[in-house]
Structure 1
Amino acid sequence: MGEEQRAPGPLHNVRVLDLSRVLAGPFCTMLLGDLGADVIKVEQPGRGDDTRQWGPPWAGGESAYYLCANRNKRSITLNFKHPEGQAILHQLISQSDVVVENFRPGTLERLGLGYDTLAERYPQLIWCTITGYGLEGPYADRAGYDFVAQGECGLMSITGEPDGEPMKVGVAVVDLFAGLFATSAILAALHARVQTGRGQRIDVPLLSAGVAMLANVGSNYLVSGELPKRYGNAHPNIVPYQTFRTRDGWITVAVGNDRQFRQLCQILGEPQLADDPRFATNPQRVQHRETLIPLLQERFLQRDAAEWLMALYEAGIPAGPINTVADVVAHPQIRYRGQIVTVPHPTAGTIQVIGPPFLLSGTPAQIRRAPPLLGEHTDEVLRELLGLSEDAIARLRADGVV
């Protein structure tokens, strides 16, 4: 590892207390950890994050699901329903810059650990809550799950084949969207604190995160009043912008302007299509997609995917293969960027993880720690931050506090 890669991350002086579980919150705190923050993951003794049990597959007794969102963290176990556990949590909060949690609204308040109480004691604290529906409002008390949110936010209504059932995305994208929005908001709050000296509360609901990602489709409805349709792998506003079947498999083709369409027609051996008044401009192609797409599909079936892709690449037309996950892991560009990272693990020996997608030239993101075992760092954190002795920690463990 080069010297520049050993430079401290941009958040190296930030401590994050992670009270979240499953995906949205852990994904957020993992990104903060990638950027150098000291992330302390607080888990229930004997059980831990629910995703620790979400297998197979397993690596060293840990589920692959858990491993995807928990690197660069230290795990401690703490029963904060116990009075001593609450006291320890208060001490940890007092030494943290950010708290991230995804309990249902009111849960922490009933334990005397609500934001309003803690903000009075720790005015510099940034507190990020990720919920299903938000902290207030008619649905605030409902539990939030990605699958439900994908349906409720409208994403499933626009995903899938036109004559098929509404379809979820293959990964928990609303959880991941919420985690990304939470990360952005936390970084903004840290910046604001530099100017004001005060922290603030951040409220990130899954439902709102999903609605925000409707993007152009949501805007189409707001402008036109027409309900969006499902287009399968096609695009509501751009044609041709979809998958095509070739002689030996499927490819994606994304024609973004009229010049690219004219080039595509040349490659396909159908130059006259670019001058056809039904297809000459994108609005016309959108209007006449039912006529145009079968003509293009017929041509694509006459050659193999690799032949078409080479011709499309050379013409500067965005296109690509439809890779399996195995293809992606071996992808030359992903390998070049070092995004598949092998890290030491205490029970599995080594594991591979998907690393950060961004590169910072001066303060690079790094994977410093494997996803921790349950409570792996309890003693270390209690000694380091609270100054507890081995005897005191042993007593806490015997009393079921940690």
Structure 2
Amino acid sequence: MQFRAASEALKNLTVLDLTQARAGPTAARQFADWGADVIKIEAPGADTMGFPRHGSDFQNLHRNKRGITLNLKHPKGLEVFKRLVSRADVLLENYRPDVKFRLGIDYESLRSVNPRLIYASISGYGQDGPDRNRPGLDPITQGAGGLMWVTGLPGQGPVRAGTAISDLSAGVFCAMGVLVALLERERSGEGQWVQTSLLESLISMMDFQAARWLMEREVPGQAGNDHPTATPAGAYETADKMMLIAAVGGRMWQRFCETIGAPELLDKPEYATAEDRTKNRTALNRAIAERLKTRTSAEWIRDLTEAGVPCGPIYKMDEVFADPQVEHLGMAAPVVHPTLGEINIVRQAVAMSRTPSIVVKAAPELGEDQEDVLGQFGLDAAEIDDLRRNGVI
């Protein structure tokens, strides 16, 4: 089956995807979703590292890609790989930093094959430094990057985030870096080495929490469901369930108090300013909770939304996809898998008016696109058969 682009936006690009686990495949998925010909390269008989090929995680990570197998430790495998590199635009890898050098597929080695190649590396801790060869996993870097120390209820100890934020942010930052390098290549005509890591990406995602330490020497702690620096902004219990409210700012604070029927809070000096409200957060939250428990979350969301106060429900995942707005956005994207039938995965989060992204292909089976891809790069049927006989593919 010939390559079918998921979008017109990047269909001129060829991306070689050597990645595994989550961070690297997340980066590759950005290009696949925007129409690049992403060729997922796996070792013959490859282990999917705990991601069952027909499971939801693998299918979500590897949609819109083509798949081949190639033994990079075999001389002929390396030879074929360099043929692919010679015509590729981007190579993505997330080996430990030393592995690519042992295989002979590091940036400098491949730069001689294709000076225009954008070579992108994701690692746990960076390509150099004292921890460069430490295995990097999302939960470990959530701890090392400070996220766990600010997550959870005060006094209950560090808590890991409920999704793989280190992996996902590293993948998105990597893709952004590659796109910048591709734009620069239009001017210079040269490729370059793009690097990021789970640790760097997570620290960047810590954003204002990290800046609090760098500028004010304030070590952020756990704030539970409250916003770390603004009040009232957090989760509140109503008559039937919990909901989120963010009534920060003078005018919004006034509208909030009026809507929940607590105008007396506006006259209390301990709540006069945003700083006062955060300083006296415990007492204020208690007063707010007394009012909110008199009605249901749906009623409060309706009235507060009408008053222009940001608020919303706290959903379980089944409720997320049942929400009318989520249904309208089409966040559940259907695709037909040859074995699984029609399945739904999470669609790309960005919309474009002229070159939208759609899901055109389920995640590839191991080596599914071998003949098509290798034929595209000039190998004939006899050569492909020889590679197969020699265990190269």
Normalising by the smaller structure, the TM-score range is over 0.9
The whole-number CA distance in structure 1 between the counterparts of 2:118 and 2:91 is 6
- The equivalent of 2:220 in structure 1 is 228
- The equivalent of 2:89 in structure 1 is 97
Q: CA-to-partner distance for each residue in 1:319-354, whole Å, 9 max, x for gaps? A: 011111111112211221222111111111111011
What is the CA-CA distance between 1:395 and the residue it aligns to? 2.4
The whole-number CA distance in structure 2 between the counterparts of 1:9 and 1:333 is 27
- The equivalent of 2:235 in structure 1 is 243
- The equivalent of 1:57 in structure 2 is none
Q: Would the aligned equivalents of 1:7 and 1:363 in 2 still touch at CA under 8 Å?
A: no
The whole-number CA distance in structure 2 between the counterparts of 1:215 and 1:167 is 18
Of 183, 186, 189 in structure 1, the residue corresponding to residue 175 of structure 2 is: 183
Give the AA of the match of 1:123. P
Identity %: 38
What is the CA-CA distance between 1:52 and the residue it aligns to? 3.4
**TM-score, normalised on structure 2?**
0.96
How do 1:300-339 residues align onto structure 2 when only pairs under 5 Å count? 300-339=292-331
Q: Would the aligned equivalents of 1:10 and 1:36 in 2 still touch at CA under 8 Å?
A: yes
Distance 1:238 1:244, change over 3 A: same
Does structure 1 residue 266 correspond to structure 2 residue 265?
Answer: no
- The equivalent of 1:119 in structure 2 is 111
Q: Would the aligned equivalents of 2:24 and 2:171 in 1 still touch at CA under 8 Å?
A: yes
Q: CA-to-partner distance for each residue in 1:269-294, whole Å, 9 max, x for gaps? A: 11011222211221111111122111
Q: Which 5+ residue runs of structure 1 have no aligned equivalent?
A: 1-5, 54-60
Q: Would the aligned equivalents of 2:6 and 2:34 in 1 still touch at CA under 8 Å?
A: no
Of 343, 346, 361 in structure 1, the residue corresponding to residue 335 of structure 2 is: 343
Give the AA of the match of 1:157. W
What is the CA-CA distance between 1:9 and the residue it aligns to? 2.1
The whole-number CA distance in structure 2 between the counterparts of 1:262 and 1:241 is 14
- The equivalent of 2:28 in structure 1 is 29
Distance 1:7 1:250, change over 3 A: closer
The whole-number CA distance in structure 2 between the counterparts of 1:127 and 1:141 is 19
Q: How many residues align?
A: 389
Give the AA of the match of 2:378. L
What is the CA-CA distance between 1:48 and the residue it aligns to? 4.4
Q: Would the aligned equivalents of 1:33 and 1:71 in 2 still touch at CA under 8 Å?
A: yes
Give the AA of the match of 2:384. I
- The equivalent of 1:10 in structure 2 is 9
Q: Alignment RMSD, CA only?
A: 1.4
The whole-number CA distance in structure 2 between the counterparts of 1:313 and 1:123 is 55
- The equivalent of 2:274 in structure 1 is 282
Q: CA-to-partner distance for each residue in 1:193-242, whole Å, 9 max, x for gaps? A: 00110010011111000110111111112222121110011111110110
- The equivalent of 2:45 in structure 1 is 46
Distance 1:150 1:64, change over 3 A: same
Question: In terms of mean alpha carbon deviation, does 69-78 or 106-115 score higher?
Answer: 106-115
What is the CA-CA distance between 1:8 and the residue it aligns to? 4.7
Q: Would the aligned equivalents of 1:9 and 1:366 in 2 still touch at CA under 8 Å?
A: no
What is the CA-CA distance between 1:302 and the residue it aligns to? 1.3
How do 1:69-218 residues align onto structure 2 when only pairs under 5 Å count? 69-218=61-210
Of 363, 378, 396 in structure 1, the residue corresponding to residue 387 of structure 2 is: 396
The whole-number CA distance in structure 2 between the counterparts of 1:227 and 1:388 is 62
- The equivalent of 2:373 in structure 1 is 381
Q: Would the aligned equivalents of 2:138 and 2:165 in 1 still touch at CA under 8 Å?
A: yes
**TM-score, normalised on structure 1?**
0.94
SS at match of 2:270: coil
What is the CA-CA distance between 1:256 and the residue it aligns to? 2.7
What is the CA-CA distance between 1:153 and the residue it aligns to? 0.3
Q: Would the aligned equivalents of 1:127 and 1:202 in 2 still touch at CA under 8 Å?
A: yes
- The equivalent of 1:370 in structure 2 is 362
SS at match of 2:276: helix
Q: Would the aligned equivalents of 2:245 and 2:310 in 1 still touch at CA under 8 Å?
A: yes
Q: Would the aligned equivalents of 2:91 and 2:119 in 1 still touch at CA under 8 Å?
A: yes
SS at match of 1:376: coil
Q: Would the aligned equivalents of 2:6 and 2:360 in 1 still touch at CA under 8 Å?
A: no
SS at match of 2:236: strand
Does structure 1 residue 65 correspond to structure 2 residue 57?
Answer: yes
What is the CA-CA distance between 1:10 and the residue it aligns to? 1.3
Q: Would the aligned equivalents of 2:31 and 2:175 in 1 still touch at CA under 8 Å?
A: yes
What is the CA-CA distance between 1:51 and the residue it aligns to? 4.3
Q: Would the aligned equivalents of 2:17 and 2:28 in 1 still touch at CA under 8 Å?
A: yes
SS at match of 1:62: coil
The whole-number CA distance in structure 2 between the counterparts of 1:90 and 1:7 is 26
- The equivalent of 1:58 in structure 2 is none
Q: Would the aligned equivalents of 1:27 and 1:179 in 2 still touch at CA under 8 Å?
A: yes
SS at match of 1:193: helix
